[in-house]
Amino acid sequence: MARVQILQPAEVGQQGGGVGAVHGAEALVRWNHPVRGNIAPDSFITIAEETGNIRELTEWTLERALADRATLARLGHELIISVNISGRLLADRGFCDHVHAMVLGRDHGLCLEITETAVIENPTVATVSIAAFRAAGLKVSIDDYGVGLSSLSYLKMLDADELKIDKSLVTAVAESQRDRLILKSTIDLAHSLGMSVVAEGVETAEVQAALSLLGCDAIQGYLISRPVPLADLTDFLSAWGQAPRLAAVG
């Protein structure tokens, strides 16, 4: 399964505006149990972490992401593929070495997403791991920013490539001046630290337009696409290249 990420246009409301090019996709694991049906990721990911199986699951996901990206590339779709990394793996030297070996010499196009909570819980370990991942040529994204006790001071400690703003801070940006001020300050600081900014959970053109005016670099959410399997993603990408862009509001 994948969730699509779209680059924002440089300007909205001028010369048509709109949503720009497809930039990347986020790899999602889904479990359809033969008896219990669809099991929520929050359930089985937590169990995997508690039982020590999260490393095996993550390594499998990374390998699958690499294979899927190669398939997309053969079809003419060059995307960055993001994969979530559990905070419990940041201190696992063996895992970090495995990831390094996995991508060595490969045109991998991977971005590792590390949650803000994992960074706050152990900033020293997070800083070392992020530096090691980036030294291996991997992009690093700070995920779910705004879920925990967000602190702008943590951003200056982390040499990350991207900041992903959680849906909880994004939803009301079109109506709330306070939310716009908070997002604007966060986006400006992230940019000054060399990070691009992605807004998660974007569901309306009004929110997309407001985010673009604030300087947000990319968006993902139901406005663009719900999570889809690889076969449907290839169809989506082909159609996106041919269809008119979503009209921006503003």
Which of 3-7, 28-32, 53-57, 152-156 ranks highest by mean pLDDT? 53-57
The structural domain count of the chain equals: 1
Residue at 127 is within a domain: yes
Can you tell me the mean pLDDT for 119-145? 89
Of the given ranges (1-15, 99-113, 131-145, 225-239), which has the lowest mean pLDDT?
A: 1-15
Nearest CA-CA partner of 4 in 170, 198, 147, 168: 198
Residues 6+ away with beta carbon under 8 Å from 228: 1, 2, 4, 236
In a domain, 166, yes or no: yes
Which three-class secondary structure state does DSSP give residue 85? strand
What would the mean pLDDT of 151-176 be, rounded to a whole number? 85
Q: Is residue 213 part of a domain?
A: yes
Q: How far apart are CA 162 and CA 139, in angstroms?
A: 8
pLDDT at 250 over 60: no
22 domain-assigned: yes
**Is the model's pLDDT at 15 over the cut of 60?**
no
Q: pLDDT higher for 114 or 3? A: 114
Q: What is the pLDDT of residue 242?
A: 58
Q: Say if residue 133's pLDDT is above 80.
A: yes
Residue 9 clears pLDDT 60, i.e. is over it: no
In a domain, 247, yes or no: no
Q: Answer positive or negative: Cα dihedral of 162, 153, 148, 41.
A: positive
Is residue 250 situated within a structural domain? no
Classify residue 14: in a domain, yes or no.
Answer: yes
Label residue 122 by pLDDT band (50, 70, 90).
confident
Average pLDDT, the chain: 85
CATH code of the domain covering residue 98:
3.20.20.450
pLDDT at 198: 94
Is pLDDT larger for residue 2 or for residue 136? 136
Nearest to 23 by CA among 219, 221, 166: 219
Confidence of residue 33 (pLDDT cuts 50, 70, 90): confident
Residues in the chain: 250
Residue 96 lies in domain: 2-240
For 109, the enclosing helix (H) or strand (E) is none
| Mean per-residue pLDDT, 132-153 | 82
Instruction: State the pairing for strand pair 218-220/196-199.
Output: parallel
Show the 3-state SS of 122-156: CHHHHHHHHHHHHHCCCEEEEEEECCCCCCHHHHC
Nearest to 167 by CA among 186, 150, 144: 144
What is the average per-residue pLDDT within 6-26?
Answer: 62
Closest by Cα among 109, 112, 118, 152 to 132: 112
